[in-house]
Structure 1
């Protein structure tokens, strides 16, 4: 019997044009080169800022430059000289803080994505499903502000991330999440929505907002 079905199935498989195939190969090569550069860097002093790109599979969506700068400046303003800033699941803001290269404050990043281990001792592996599984180096109430951006818009994710935030902060909280989470944010962290509207590099379906529990500069037209 002639197995014509198999041949027909092969004919139905969509074929990429030579231009599309070349573009795809170029993309994969660029990604591989970036991954190799990250491995070679091997430390926060050597890793070029912005080298690590967002990974949608990890629910990462970077803030645009203006938003990241605004939130980084707000965190620095809130802690003052000698302050400590913890970024929980907020890598694009952490990288903006690193760009300042300022000795007036210190920062660390708690992040599930282990690519950020190139930042050395400032990186802490973090899984919101186990919110208090933190190293002894992160002592209770040891950060002047915790800036957090939970990876998922769900009550469970926010509730568990809130446990981490309350453990780490001395008091101040800057939360970035969807506007639909306003009621849960108030319930678990006692934060209120700000006027400032954060924006991402890519358009997202859900509207995002910032929430704080202190007198912030995010209700002003600009931050000095």
Structure 2
């Protein structure tokens, strides 16, 4: 039954049980939440922005690793909205997660969304202080030295300590030099198969990536 149908019942025959104002309000909230959830799940890849969504297994593995590493703390999702969506789905207790993303379609996530442009790697709102996050998970949109170098500046600013980086394996030497990261056994995969081979890199001993 839709909200419109519920309202029609209230407006019809007096013999039909009427819904209270509180019940109608609760129904309205429910349908708005359902609509918003559908909108979130329908945000498709924009290849012009070099967006390639993780497959479900990759998103779940990264989410579990980030939750474990955060120790009920905070997680920054830097240019990896698929991971954020998986965190929302898993809804871990006592864990805060924020999406930093250039694509403003993700403003649908409300206060969890912070606009981020890797070309301005130190431009954050005043509410985001230095070393604000227990874990930063980053997936730079382009496999270039410039993009990773600028993203690394953001990562160093945001993280208290732990870093998870997903990028092409060809960036391994640069990731080691910029952020002192080690390559893990886990290989991220994407819903649409990509030609480049991707890897995961961290600066700590992981639970799910090795």
Q: TM-score, normalised by structure 2?
A: 0.81
Give the drift of 1:218.
3.7
Return 5+ residue gaps in structure 2 as ranges: 1-31
SS in 1 for 2:137: strand
Residue 136 of structure 1, aligned match among 126, 131, 137: 126
Answer yes or no: is 1:85 the counterpart of 2:75: yes
Runs of 4+ in 1 over 3 A off after TM superposition: 43-49
Partners of 1:88 and 1:148 within 8 A in 2: yes
Compare 46-55 and 59-68 and name the one that shifted more: 46-55
Residue 99 of structure 1, aligned match among 75, 89, 103: 89
Partners of 1:44 and 1:119 within 8 A in 2: no
Question: Alpha carbons of 1:165 and 1:45: their partners in 2 closer, same or farther (altered >3 Å)?
Answer: farther
Answer yes or no: is 1:201 the counterpart of 2:191: yes
Partners of 1:150 and 1:157 within 8 A in 2: yes
Residue 177 of structure 1, aligned match among 154, 158, 167: 167
Partners of 1:44 and 1:118 within 8 A in 2: no
Return 5+ residue gaps in structure 1 as ranges: 1-40
The residue that corresponds to 1:187 in the other structure is 177
Partners of 1:63 and 1:198 within 8 A in 2: yes
Give the drift of 1:47.
3.4
Residue 55 of structure 1, aligned match among 42, 46, 71: 46
Deviations 1:38-89 (Å, cap 9, x if unpaired)? xxx7x899333422111111100001000000000000010112x1000000
